[in-house]
C-alpha cells in the first residue's frame, strides 16, 4: 500500500526528514503552521500566519506547497478524491536575497530528496538581470560609438569573456559590477528583442530561464518582482507565469514594497541617461551619432534643455513654496514643457526605425521610442496627479558630481484597496498565504492592524510561538532614568553615548545599537569612536562607507564588534552565535510623521474619524520594536540581553503594549 503523503508524514517525529537527518528536532509549532498552510491551500483560503523565530517557517510552507502543486502525481491528501488535470504552480515571494538563496540552494533541494514526487523549483528574476548575447555582440561591434571611456571598453570585454563561461547569464554571477551604461547596452530588453528570429534564441539566457519557469511547480521571486508583475497584470502583461497560489514570506514589508511598485518614481537622472544614450553632446557618443542623424541630435538637445529647466523649476518650487517634507498637494505646480518635445522625438525615432535596413537597427530605435514615451507619459501623469487616491512628493539629494538628484514619487495612500482588488479577489489566484515572525500587536491574534493595512478582512489567522526558551536565553533591560525623548529631546540625546558605553561594557562588545535617526547615529558614532578604539572594539557604522552586507560580514567575523545601524538593521538581519549577545534599542521606533507617505496615511485616518497615533503610529512602532528585539536570539544556543534606553516604555501608558508584545523573559528595570 502506498504511503499517504502529508505534512505530518514529512515533518513529524517519525517523518521522512527525521529519518533522513541525524539530530532532527521536530517542532510542534512548525507542524501547526504547516497544517494551517495546508488547509488554506486546499480550501482556497487566504491565511495570515505569524510564526516566532526558530519555528522553521520555510519548511512549514514549502512542504504543503509542494504537496499541493504535485497533487496530479499522488494522493497527497486522503480527502482529495479528484486529482487536478495538471500540476499547480505556487509562487513563493521573499523580501531578502538571503532567504531566496536559502530556499533555492538549501531547503528545496533537501525536500526534493525526501519527497517521492517529481517537482521543480526555480528562482525567477526580472529580465533586466540577464545578458543578451545578440546585444552584447552588437555593442562590441559598435563600441567606439557607444562607450565613452577605456574602463567601459574593458568592462565590455570582461562581459564577453564571462558570457562563454556563465551557466545562467545572470548579473548576480558576473564577477565584476559593470557601470549602468555598459550593462544597459548588453542587457536582455523586451523592446529590443528578436525573439524566435534571433540566432541566439535557443541559447538565450532569459528565454532559457523563462522556459524553466514555465515548467516549474515552485517559483521563488522577490517582493519587488511580485508586485511589479501584479501592477502589469492590469495591462494584460505578466513577468511571472500564471500561478494558483502565492506564499509571501517576510510579509511585514508588504505595505511599503507594494506602495513603491504600484506608484510612480522618476528621477532627473533617468531623463539624462536616456538622452545621453541617444546623443551625448560631451563625448559625441550615442545611437544618433552612429547613424549621423544630426537633426535628431538637435531634438535631443532641445529635450535636454527643457528637462534642465523643468527640474530647475521644481527645485525652485521646493525652495520657495513647497512644504518642508516635499509633499506636493496640488497638480501642475510647474509647467510641463518637456513631455511634448519628448513625444515629438519619440515619433521621429519611430520613423527612423521603419527606415532601417536591419532588424537589429530597427529594434534599437523602437526601444528608444518606447522608453521616450514611457518617461514623457510618466512625467505628465505625475504633474497632473493622474493616479487616484495617491500621495505625491519630491525628494532632493546630492550626487557624486555635486549636482542635485531630484526624484518625483507617487504612491497609493491605501495600498490595501489595490491589493484587495488585484490579489485577494483575483479570479485566478486561489490562495494567498502571508507569514512573518512579527505581525501581531500585543495579544491580537487576529492581526487587526496588519489586516487594515493590506486590505484583507476575511480568511484564516494563525499564530504560533517560538520554540526558543526566552526565560533561559534572554533578558530585557529597561533604562528608566533617562530624560523623555519627546519633551526633553536634547537632554536625552546628550545622555545616550554614556548609556551606550555602559551596556557595551557589560557585554564586552558583541552589540547591535539600533537607531531611529541617521543623524543621531552619526553623532553617537563620532562621540564613541575614540573610546571604542581604546577598548580595542571595532565600530561598524552605517554612517561609514561600507554597505549593509559588508558591515554584517565584518561584524560576524569580529569577536568583539559593535554595530550602529538604522532602519534596515531592525529587520532581516541574522547574526547567530557569539558575535551578537546585546541589542541596544535607543528609542522606540515611531515613524517620522512628516514623511509624505506617513503624513498622507495619518491624514486619511483622521479624515475617517480615527486616531492616527493609536490606529497607525503606535501599532506600527510595536511591530518594528518586535523586529528589533528579534535580532538577538536566532538559535537554541544564543543568549544575551536586549536593552531599551527609551524610558517611555515604563513612563507612558502605551509602553505596556510594547512589553506585552514580547515573549516572557526576565525583566530588569
Q: What is the DSSP string of 535-590?
A: TT--EEETTSSS-HHHHHHHHHH-SS-EEEE-GGGSSS----STT--EEEE-S--P
Find how far residue 63's CA is from the centre of its chain. Answer: 25
Collapsing DSSP to helix, strand or coil, 559 comes out as coil
Q: How many CB atoms lie within 10 A of CB 555?
A: 22
Cell numbers that stand for 477 in this block: 533591560
Q: Say if residue 376 is exposed, middle or buried (CB neighbours under 10 Å; 0-12, 13-18, 19+).
A: buried
**Pairing verdict, β 582-585 and 539-541:** unpaired
Determine contact, residues 485/503, Cβ cutoff 8 Å.
no
Cell numbers that stand for 419 in this block: 491589493
Helix axes 133-141, 150-163, angle to 10 degrees: 140
Where do runs of H (alpha helix) occur along 12-89? Answer: 16-20, 28-42, 57-69
Nearest Cα neighbor of 291 from 340, 358, 338, 344 is 358
Determine contact, residues 478/644, Cβ cutoff 8 Å.
yes
> Which residue, chain included where needed, has cell 518642508?
324
391: phi then psi, degrees, rounded to nearest 5: -105, 135
b/e code 59-89 from CB counts within 10 Å (16+ = b): bbbbbbbbbbbbbebbebbeeeeeeeeebbb
Please state, in angstroms and rounded to a whole number, the distance separating the CA atoms of residues 82 and 37. 20
Cell numbers that stand for 582 in this block: 546585546
Which residues neighbour 608 within 8 Å (Cβ) at sequence distance 6 or greater? Answer: none
**Amino acid 312: pLDDT:** 94
Please state, in angstroms and rounded to a whole number, the distance separating the CA atoms of residues 469 and 636. 8
**Amino acid 149: pLDDT:** 87
Cell numbers that stand for 456 in this block: 484583507
Cell numbers that stand for 328 in this block: 506636493
Nearest Cα neighbor of 642 from 553, 591, 570, 554 is 570
Collapsing DSSP to helix, strand or coil, 411 comes out as strand
91: phi then psi, degrees, rounded to nearest 5: -95, 130
**Amino acid 610: pLDDT:** 95
Determine contact, residues 37/449, Cβ cutoff 8 Å.
no
Cell numbers that stand for 1 in this block: 500500500
Cell numbers that stand for 532 in this block: 571604542
Sign of CA dihedral 289, 292, 294, 295: negative
In which order are the strands placed within the sheet that holds 474-478?
Answer: 539-541, 562-565, 511-514, 582-585, 640-644, 474-478, 667-668
Determine contact, residues 134/185, Cβ cutoff 8 Å.
no
Determine contact, residues 248/95, Cβ cutoff 8 Å.
no
Where do runs of H (alpha helix) occur along 415-488? Answer: 415-419, 448-454, 470-473
Determine contact, residues 378/265, Cβ cutoff 8 Å.
no
447: phi then psi, degrees, rounded to nearest 5: 60, 45
Determine contact, residues 520/567, Cβ cutoff 8 Å.
no
SS3 helix, strand, coil % of the chain, rounded to 5? Answer: 50, 15, 35
Determine contact, residues 240/249, Cβ cutoff 8 Å.
no
Which parts of the chain have pLDDT scores under 70?
A: 1-2, 74-86, 398-403
pTM beyond 0.85: yes
- The Cα angle at residue 190 between residues 186 and 192, in degrees rounded to 5: 55
Say which DSSP state 327 is in: B
Nearest Cα neighbor of 620 from 632, 631, 605, 641 is 605
Nearest Cα neighbor of 579 from 637, 531, 625, 626 is 637
Q: Say if residue 563 is exposed, middle or buried (CB neighbours under 10 Å; 0-12, 13-18, 19+).
A: buried
Query: For the segment 182-235, what is each residue's pLDDT rounded down to a tens digit?
Result: 998 899 988 778 888 888 888 999 999 999 999 999 999 999 999 999 988 888
Cell numbers that stand for 420 in this block: 484587495
Q: How far is CA 125 from CA 208, 227, 336, in A?
A: 12, 13, 36
Determine contact, residues 272/181, Cβ cutoff 8 Å.
no
Cell numbers that stand for 312 in this block: 530647475
Q: Say if residue 560 is exposed, middle or buried (CB neighbours under 10 Å; 0-12, 13-18, 19+).
A: middle
550: phi then psi, degrees, rounded to nearest 5: -65, -40
Nearest Cα neighbor of 253 from 567, 589, 563 is 567
Please state, in angstroms and rounded to a whole number, the distance separating the CA atoms of residues 60 and 11. 8
Amino acid at each position: 500500500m502506498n504511503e499517504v503523503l502529508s505534512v505530518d508524514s514529512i515533518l513529524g517525529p517519525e517523518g521522512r526528514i527525521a529519518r533522513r537527518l541525524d539530530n532532527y528536532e521536530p517542532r510542534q509549532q512548525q507542524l501547526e503552521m504547516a497544517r494551517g498552510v495546508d488547509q488554506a491551500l486546499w480550501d482556497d483560503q487566504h491565511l495570515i500566519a505569524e510564526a516566532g523565530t526558530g519555528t522553521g517557517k520555510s519548511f512549514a510552507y514549502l512542504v504543503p506547497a509542494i504537496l499541493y502543486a504535485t497533487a496530479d502525481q499522488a494522493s497527497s491528501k486522503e480527502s482529495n478524491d479528484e486529482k487536478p488535470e495538471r500540476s499547480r504552480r505556487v509562487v513563493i515571494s521573499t523580501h531578502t536575497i538571503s532567504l531566496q538563496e536559502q530556499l533555492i540552494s538549501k531547503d528545496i533541494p533537501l525536500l526534493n530528496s525526501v519527497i517521492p514526487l517529481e517537482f521543480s523549483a526555480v528562482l525567477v528574476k526580472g529580465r533586466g538581470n540577464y545578458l543578451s548575447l545578440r546585444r552584447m555582440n552588437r555593442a562590441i561591434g559598435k563600441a567606439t560609438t557607444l562607450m565613452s571611456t577605456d574602463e567601459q571598453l574593458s568592462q565590455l570585454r570582461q562581459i564577453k569573456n564571462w558570457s562563454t563561461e556563465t551557466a545562467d547569464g545572470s548579473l548576480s554571477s558576473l564577477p565584476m559590477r559593470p557601470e549602468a551604461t555598459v550593462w544597459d547596452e548588453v542587457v536582455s530588453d523586451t523592446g529590443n528583442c528578436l525573439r524566435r528570429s534571433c540566432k541566439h534564441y535557443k541559447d538565450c539566457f532569459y528565454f532559457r530561464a523563462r522556459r524553466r519557469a514555465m515548467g516549474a511547480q515552485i517559483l521563488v521571486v522577490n517582493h519587488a518582482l511580485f508586485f511589479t508583475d501584479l501592477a502589469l497584470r492590469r495591462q494584460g502583461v505578466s513577468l511571472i507565469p500564471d500561478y494558483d497560489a502565492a506564499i509571501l514570506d517576510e510579509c511585514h514589508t508588504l505595505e511599503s514594497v507594494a506602495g513603491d511598485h504600484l506608484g510612480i518614481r522618476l528621477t532627473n537622472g533617468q531623463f539624462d541617461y536616456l538622452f545621453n544614450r541617444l546623443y551625448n553632446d560631451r563625448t559625441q557618443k550615442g545611437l544618433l551619432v552612429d547613424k549621423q542623424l544630426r537633426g535628431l541630435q538637435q531634438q535631443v538637445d532641445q529635450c535636454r534643455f527643457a528637462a534642465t529647466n523643468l527640474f530647475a523649476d521644481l527645485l525652485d518650487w521646493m525652495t520657495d513654496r513647497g512644504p518642508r517634507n516635499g509633499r506636493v498637494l496640488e497638480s501642475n505646480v510647474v509647467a510641463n514643457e518637456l513631455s511634448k518635445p519628448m513625444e515629438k522625438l519619440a515619433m521621429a525615432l519611430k520613423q527612423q526605425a521603419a527606415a532601417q535596413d536591419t532588424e537589429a537597427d530597427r529594434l534599437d530605435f523602437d526601444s528608444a521610442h518606447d522608453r521616450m514615451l514611457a518617461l514623457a507619459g510618466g512625467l505628465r501623469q505625475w504633474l497632473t496627479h493622474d493616479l487616484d487616491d495617491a500621495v505625491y512628493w519630491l525628494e532632493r539629494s546630492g550626487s557624486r558630481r555635486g549636482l542635485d538628484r531630484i526624484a518625483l514619487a507617487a504612491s497609493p495612500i491605501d495600498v490595501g484597496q489595490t491589493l484587495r482588488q488585484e490579489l485577494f479577489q483575483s479570479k485566478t489566484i486561489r490562495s494567498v498565504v502571508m507569514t512573518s515572525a512579527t505581525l501581531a500587536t500585543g495579544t491580537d491574534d487576529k492581526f487587526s492592524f496588519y489586516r487594515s493595512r493590506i486590505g484583507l478582512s476575511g480568511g484564516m489567522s494563525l499564530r504560533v510561538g517560538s520554540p526558543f526558551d526566552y526565560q533561559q536565553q534572554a533578558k530585557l533591560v529597561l533604562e528608566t532614568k533617562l530624560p523623555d525623548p519627546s519633551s526633553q529631546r536634547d537632554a536625552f540625546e546628550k545622555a545616550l553615548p554614556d548609556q551606550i558605553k555602559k551596556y557595551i561594557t557589560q557585554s564586552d562588545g558583541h552589540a547591535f545599537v539600533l537607531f531611529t535617526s541617521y543623524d543621531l547615529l552619526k553623532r553617537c558614532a563620532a562621540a564613541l569612536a575614540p573610546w571604542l578604539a581604546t577598548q580595542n572594539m571595532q565600530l561598524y557604522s552605517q554612517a561609514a562607507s561600507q554597505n549593509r552586507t559588508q558591515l554584517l560580514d565584518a561584524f560576524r567575523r569580529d569577536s568583539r564588534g559593535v554595530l550602529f545601524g538604522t532602519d534596515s538593521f531592525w529587520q532581516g538581519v541574522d547574526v547567530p552565535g557569539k558575535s551578537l549577545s546585546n541589542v541596544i534599542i535607543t528609542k522606540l521606533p515611531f515613524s517620522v510623521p512628516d514623511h509624505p507617505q506617513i503624513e498622507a496615511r495619518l491624514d486619511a485616518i483622521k479624515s475617517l474619524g480615527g486616531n492616527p497615533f493609536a490606529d497607525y503610529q503606535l501599532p506600527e512602532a510595536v511591530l518594528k520594536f518586535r523586529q528589533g528585539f528579534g535580532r538577538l536570539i536566532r538559535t537554541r544556543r544564543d543568549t544575551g540581553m536586549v536593552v531599551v534606553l527609551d524610558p517611555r516604555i515604563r513612563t507612558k501608558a502605551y509602553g505596556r503594549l510594547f512589553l506585552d508584545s514580547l515573549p516572557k523573559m526576565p525583566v530588569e528595570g
